[in-house]
Amino acid sequence: MPITRSATKRLRADKKRQARNKNVQSKLKTLVKEFQALCDGKKLEDATRFLKTIYAQFDHAAAKKIIHRNVAARKKSRLQKQLLKAAKVG
């Protein structure tokens, strides 16, 4: 339990920030799952358009330091690979 007033405020701020970050991370996971469903369903045109939205969300999260920029780059790269693989197979 925090002793000082500043530590109490810090605890409150940390909880708010944690909730906000968790919300963004959850949103990213949901977007990735939706993209994978589009790729599996062979809706490649929709997936291509949706990929732009996902890129923007990953870049925004990286800019806000919710995720590391290298993590964002890696995830974006893997999604692009997945789209190209689905296009080849389809």
Q: Which DSSP string do the residues of the chain spell out, in sequence order?
A: ---SHHHHHHHHHHHHHHHHHHHHHHHHHHHHHHHHHHHHTT-HHHHHHHHHHHHHHHHHHHHTTSS-HHHHHHHHHHHHHHHHHHHHH-
- The pLDDT assigned to 1 comes to 82
pTM of the predicted model as reported, rounded to 2 decimal places: 0.86
| Cα 40 to Cα 24: distance, rounded to the nearest angstrom | 24
Q: Which band of pLDDT confidence, cut at 50, 70 and 90, is reported for residue 89?
A: confident
Q: Which band of pLDDT confidence, cut at 50, 70 and 90, is reported for residue 31?
A: very high
CATH for 5-89 is 1.20.58.110
